[in-house]
Every structure is written in structure tokens, then in C-alpha cells.
Structure 1
Amino acid sequence: MDEKEREERLAAGFAAGDERCTEAVYRRWRPLVHSLARRGLGDEREAEDVTQQVFLAAWRGRGRYRPGPGGLGAWLTGITRHKVADALEARARRARSVEAAARTLHPAAERPGSLPHPEPERTVDRVLILGELARLPSAQQQVLRLAFYGDLTQAQIADRTGLPLGTVKSHMRRALHQLRRSLPAGAAAVR
């Protein structure tokens, strides 16, 4: 069996939902997908995220896969291009939101001759953190807010909320992990 036949069988197995074929597809095309994402985004972390998104989208859409020129590799490349474009648009949206928030919080900084705010980076970090905090599940939000804004220990949070201490610790750990993943590397509050 030649390489083309092997790839066709692999693609057919993937489209049919065969787990071994799916693993083989991931091993075979992950380097290509990751390389395209890294080149398009210029950021290793985002490239990893996009790579995962590509294979998740391919898995979910495997029933729509139709062999064509370039086979499964070309289909995955097309998904990658769309996911990279989505990531770039999301990045641009975040930048616009940060700029708008900074202008709203410190409109004097835009006027000629005005003194700049002493710590605009911290303000932007705060806006980003508050935005990401709002996206967390409500129980995780509550635990973080009580810890950081209420200055309560985990035991005090457990007493106040009635949650078991282990649950409070789990919520805190998951929330902080999610914030670290979703915030830019320079955000001051989660370093």
C-alpha cells in the first residue's frame, strides 16, 4: 500500500469516528497545523490553543469531510486558516476593548498638554482581569472576590459561604489556572 492509499484509509477511518485513526491523524498532521498556527499568530501559547481548536473542530465536523485534492491535510489546513483568522480577530477585539477602557477610565490622557495617568498599564491590567473574572463560573467568581477583595482566608470563605474547605480550594485553584491561561503574560495581578 502506497502513502496515498494509507492517507485515504486514515481519512476514511477518521471520518467514520475510528479512535485509532483519529490518534494517527493527530500525530500525522499536528506538526503542520501547529506550524501554520505559530507562523500566523507569532505566539506559541495561542498556536497551541488554535491547534487544539482545529482538531476539535475537525472531530466535530468529520461527518462533513469529503476527500478532495490534497486530502485530509488540505482540509485541516483550511480549518487552521479559519481558526488563525478567528484568533487574530479576537486579539484585535481585545486590543480595541483595552484601548476603549483606557480612554474611558482616563480621558485626560488624550487631551494635548495633559499629564498621563501615572500607571496606565495597571489600569488596563485591572480592566482585563475584571473582564476575565466575569467569565468564570459564579462559584469561582465568588471565591476569588471574597479572597482578593474581601481579604478572607480560604477557611473564612468556607465558613461564610457554607462550602466545604476542599471545594473552596478547588474553586480557587481552577479559577486562578483559568485566569493565568486567559490573561496576557504581563497582566500584573496574576503573575
Structure 2
Amino acid sequence: MIRVASGEHAALDAIHNRFIHRVRGLALRLCGDESLAQDVVQDVFLEVWLRSARFDPTRGSVTTWLLTVTHHKAVDAVRRETSRLRHQCPSDAVDAHWERLASPGADHWAIESVVAGYLREALAQLPLSLRQALALAYFGGYTQSEVAAALGIPLGTVKSRTFTAMARLREELQQLYDAV
């Protein structure tokens, strides 16, 4: 990432080649539409090129950072597409597409935002090793075997880290819920 931040095209190519399948897979799972997912993938790697200096290795791995950027870009793309479809004249094709992409109302998003804030707080309390395993498994959509390979650790370690992370999150979120 340091080489990308310094403008080295070969470094961007290397990152692209290493992570394209993961980024594309997550984008497709989140968008549910191939064309929209392709746009997200392009946006992600443009973000890598333009803002690679934002990557902080003390906060997580390149994989975690890329998948987080992908998640944010995909959510933004789905929201834009939803908004665009709302403003078009309804037709059978648009209605079918709208039903598939329809989002809940503003009240739901407000509650989701509060819950997401609590989740971010709870995740920040986890050690990096637990946070990485959890992010790849739950937010990245990888199997535990794929997480083990990505992190270079045994499968049993991934399982125990994931279990421990979930238990700690459950405990932390329960405390936050009880306080509200």
C-alpha cells in the first residue's frame, strides 16, 4: 500500500490481481446485480489508487480495509440505484427491480444507524486478531477455511477466534442494550 500511495502502478496491479475475486464476490453479494457490482469494483480500486494513504496497517490488514471499502461502496451504489429507480416512471421491469432492491423506511435506517454505532463500538473493543477473523468471516463472506488461508493461521485458531469474538460482542452489545 505504501508503494501504491507513492504512485507505483505495478503495486496497484499486484493488489488488484490479489484481491479482485474477493472484492468482486462481496460486491456481487451485496448488490445482487452484476452491472452494479462491476461499478462497485471499479470504484473500490479507484479508491485504492486515489486514497491508499488512508490505509493504516495498525487498524487492520489490507484485506480488511479493502473489504470495508467494498462494503461501503456497495451500500452507496444500492442506495443510489434505489433512489434512481424511485424517480423514474414506473414500468413492469422497474417495478420488479424496485421490489428486489426496495429498502425500508427512514425510521428503520435511523434505528439501523444507532445499532451500527453500537456494533462499531463493540468491534473496536476486540483485539485485532479477533476483529480480523470476524470481519473476514461475517462481513467478507468467507468460509472459515478461506479465513485461515488468508490470515495464514490454522483452521482451529480461526474457529476459536470467531467463537471468542462473537461471545465478546454478544456480551458487549448486551451491556449496551441494557444501558438503553
Structure 1-normalised TM-score? 0.45
User: Over alpha carbons, which structure has the higher Rg?
Assistant: 1
Query: TM-score, length-normalised on structure 2?
Result: 0.48
